[in-house]
Chain A
Amino acid sequence: MKIISAIHYMIFTAALFSGSGWSQPVNAASQKLVLTGASTIAPLAAEIGRRFESQHSGTRIDVQTGGSARGINDARNGTADIGMVSRPLKPQEQDLQAHTIAWDGVGIILHASNPVAALSRQQIADIYTGKIDNWKIVGGRDAPITVVNKAEGRSTLELFLAYFQLKNSDIRPHVIIGDNAQGIKTVAGNSNAVGYVSIGAAEYEAGHGVPIKLLPLDGIAATVANVRNGTFPLSRPLNLVTRASPEGLSREFIDFTRSKQVYDLVEAQYFVPVSIR
């Protein structure tokens, strides 16, 4: 029994490795691009990559996720060919080159049953720093506010902080979330919550019966249309970043992501294509 099972094991291992191509990956001869970074961009980049592969045989676009900070890191140290960063580059990141592929807005969301219709910039800042802790103070019902904040390293957080001139250490969050859909689910499940997420995602979910509403910011309605015409104040570019000026396949792929051929894909993920702006 012992020898038989050992032999079985060897045969199985050999079959597993050879059957799935250990020594000669099927795509070994092909050119491969690795993208890592923002989870907001990852689904879009994967869809664009799929179309790019179908038009350029022998190429492979591998899209990985992990957040904008990771995109910056991986592009810098060469782990990835292209990083995905869902915000403008900071001054200390000017060693990288950014290529905007789409635009997105960040909107404040409340539960649909919340009677508050608008919040001023100061009120939002006070809610997030804990100075206002009850909806009654801003004209709502008598209920404590649940503050939903984004996790460290998320670019939505950085944009939000920069816009309201806050520091993350000043924020008194009750819930910390990662991705957009998670934020929407958190607010939809708590009638006293306030959060901020990508406008495209929120508009889609609100249109499909999820009980959330987007608040206007500085009097401008948080809609994809206002992001498109450039009037919405809290919007951000979705960037592909490279260490140096891109060449070869990277160049081809980045040009493809910025071309008219992918507008439908960008819009299908509820973002705004780059040149319509």
Chain B
Amino acid sequence: MAETVPVKSAGIHRDRFAQLTIYIAAFMVCAAFVWILSDIVRGGVAHLSWSFLVDAPRDAGRAGGIGPILVSTVLVLLVALTAALPLGWMTAALLAEYVSADSTFGSAVRYSLQVLAGVPSIVFGLFGNAFFSIYLGMGFSILSGGLTLACMLLPILVSTGEAGLRAVPDAYRLSAAALGMSRKTTLFHLLLPAAAPSLAAGLLLGIGRAVAETAALLFTSGYVDRMPGSLLDSGRTLAIHIFDLSMNVSGGDASAHASALVLITALLLINIAAMRLTAGWQRRKIVPE
């Protein structure tokens, strides 16, 4: 008895220590977020106003607003998602539902996506510049920028989509087959809605990566800060604007902070909206009324 007491108390101490370490780690994660956010808010909130959101930039971005830049950002994002979502989710459905996990074709597709996921974004930028801008003759344009981004988004969309579909219990598929539902119906009415949260997570990761991208877009969608008149116009995205203001334009820091604040707020809103939408879709499809 006399022996077990110190061992036990040592165990308690170790427990406490482990608990404390875990709490500190979690606290540091939150602190990093709060620090970044407060830094951006402190530097940018004074510069922020309605006219900042709608006006065109003046004096290389030191004055004026970010209206055309917001429009370009949204257009680039829309082009990228329009191209990448159907391709990505269809590939995910193929990998998860139509080929067996260890088939040669499936692993070839998966391997090429893994390679694609590991490629640095500047390489995508150079590829996009050489292929979309020069070879296909789109020049510096929102279209070539969006398509370059779409190539970058594919690995994220496919891998999250496939993981989500694989996580749906096989009982769903068996029940659907027992009810005589076709594979197509099962996929669209049962499996995809059941996998909706991970599809949404992939979508959000993709949007986050797309909106934060500078290197791939600098050589494709370009640097022009005019209001884009068409998808074939060059348009500067928010991330490039922030990069240019903080790294290239002396005295652009206040505008850079304010633009970063707009970017973070927009991402937050997109996150919330996507969460709501997927939750709603899943409830409509799967939970019986």
CA distance A17 to B75 in the complex (A): 10
The answer on a CB contact under 8 Å between B230 and A16 is: no
What is the CB-to-nearest-CB distance from B196 to chain A, in angstroms, rounded to a whole number?
12
List chain B residues, Cβ under 8 A from A17.
231
Does B42 make an interface contact (CB < 8 A)? no
The answer on a CB contact under 8 Å between A25 and B230 is: yes
Does B205 make an interface contact (CB < 8 A)? no
Does B248 make an interface contact (CB < 8 A)? yes
CA distance A91 to B224 in the complex (A): 32
Does B124 make an interface contact (CB < 8 A)? no
CA distance A13 to B86 in the complex (A): 12
List chain A residues, Cβ under 8 A from B223.
42, 46, 63-65
Interface residues on B, range: 35 or more
Query: Which residues of B218-245 have CB atoms within 8 Å of chain A's CB atoms?
Result: 218-219, 222-226, 228-234, 244
Does A180 make an interface contact (CB < 8 A)? yes
Does A173 make an interface contact (CB < 8 A)? no
Q: A1-B188, A42-B223 are in contact. Are A204 and B234 (CB under 8 A)?
A: no
Neighbour of A34 across the interface among B75, B78, B139, B219, CB < 8 A:
B139
The answer on a CB contact under 8 Å between A270 and B229 is: no
CA distance A66 to B217 in the complex (A): 11
Does B170 make an interface contact (CB < 8 A)? no
Stretch of B1-9, B44-52, B249-257 that contacts chain A:
B249-257
List chain B residues, Cβ under 8 A from A276.
none
List chain A residues, Cβ under 8 A from B10.
none
Does B212 make an interface contact (CB < 8 A)? no
The answer on a CB contact under 8 Å between B231 and A64 is: no
CA distance A268 to B250 in the complex (A): 11
Does A9 make an interface contact (CB < 8 A)? yes
The answer on a CB contact under 8 Å between A268 and B59 is: yes
Does B189 make an interface contact (CB < 8 A)? yes
The answer on a CB contact under 8 Å between A34 and B140 is: yes
Does A208 make an interface contact (CB < 8 A)? yes
Query: Which residues of B74-93 have CB atoms within 8 Å of chain A's CB atoms?
Result: 75, 78-79, 82, 86
The answer on a CB contact under 8 Å between A25 and B60 is: no
The answer on a CB contact under 8 Å between B249 and A181 is: yes
Does A126 make an interface contact (CB < 8 A)? no
The answer on a CB contact under 8 Å between A62 and B234 is: yes
The answer on a CB contact under 8 Å between B229 and A43 is: no
Q: Majority SS of interface residues in chain B?
A: loop
The answer on a CB contact under 8 Å between A182 and B86 is: no
The answer on a CB contact under 8 Å between B134 and A9 is: no
What is the CB-to-nearest-CB distance from B169 to chain A, in angstroms, rounded to a whole number?
21
Q: A46-B60, A65-B223 are in contact. Are A208 and B251 (CB under 8 A)?
A: yes
Q: A27-B233, A43-B60 are in contact. Are A204 and B251 (CB under 8 A)?
A: yes
List chain A residues, Cβ under 8 A from B248.
39-40, 42-43, 65, 179-182
CA distance A20 to B248 in the complex (A): 30
List chain B residues, Cβ under 8 A from A66.
218-219
List chain A residues, Cβ under 8 A from B60.
43-44, 46-47, 269
List chain B residues, Cβ under 8 A from A20.
75, 142, 228-231
The answer on a CB contact under 8 Å between A1 and B189 is: yes
Does B271 make an interface contact (CB < 8 A)? no
The answer on a CB contact under 8 Å between B231 and A22 is: yes
Q: Which residue of A lies closest to B56 (CB)?
A: A50
CA distance A60 to B228 in the complex (A): 12
CA distance A253 to B226 in the complex (A): 18
What is the CB-to-nearest-CB distance from A39 to chain B, in angstroms, rounded to a whole number?
5
CA distance A269 to B62 in the complex (A): 10
Does B282 make an interface contact (CB < 8 A)? no
What is the CB-to-nearest-CB distance from A21 to chain B, in angstroms, rounded to a whole number?
4
Q: Which residue of B lies closest to A182 (CB)?
A: B247
CA distance A63 to B223 in the complex (A): 6
List chain A residues, Cβ under 8 A from B142.
20
CA distance A204 to B62 in the complex (A): 13
The answer on a CB contact under 8 Å between A204 and B250 is: yes
The answer on a CB contact under 8 Å between B224 and A79 is: no
Q: Residues 11-42 of chain A: 1 if any B CB is under 8 Å from the residue's CB, otherwise 0?
A: 01100110011101111000000100001101
Does A158 make an interface contact (CB < 8 A)? no
Q: Which residue of B lies closest to A24 (CB)?
A: B230
Would you give 25 A-B contacts (Cβ < 8 Å), ordered by A?
A: A16-B78, A16-B79, A16-B231, A22-B232, A24-B230, A25-B229, A25-B232, A27-B229, A27-B230, A40-B248, A43-B60, A43-B249, A46-B60, A47-B59, A62-B222, A62-B234, A63-B223, A64-B223, A64-B224, A79-B134, A179-B247, A180-B248, A182-B247, A182-B248, A204-B250
Apart from the given pairs A16-B78, A34-B139, A42-B223, 11 other A-B contacts in the complex at a CB distance below 8 Å: A9-B86, A27-B230, A46-B60, A46-B223, A47-B60, A64-B140, A65-B244, A181-B247, A181-B250, A182-B246, A204-B250
CB-based closest 8 A-B pairs: A26-B229, A43-B60, A21-B230, A25-B230, A201-B250, A179-B248, A179-B247, A182-B247
Q: Which A residues contact B (CB, under 8 angstroms)? A: 1-2, 9, 12-13, 16-17, 20-22, 24-27, 34, 39-40, 42-44, 46-47, 50, 60, 62-66, 79, 178-182, 184-185, 200-201, 204-205, 208, 268-270
Q: Which B residues contact A (CB, under 8 angstroms)? A: 59-61, 75, 78-79, 82, 86, 134, 139-140, 142, 184, 188-189, 218-219, 222-226, 228-234, 244, 246-252
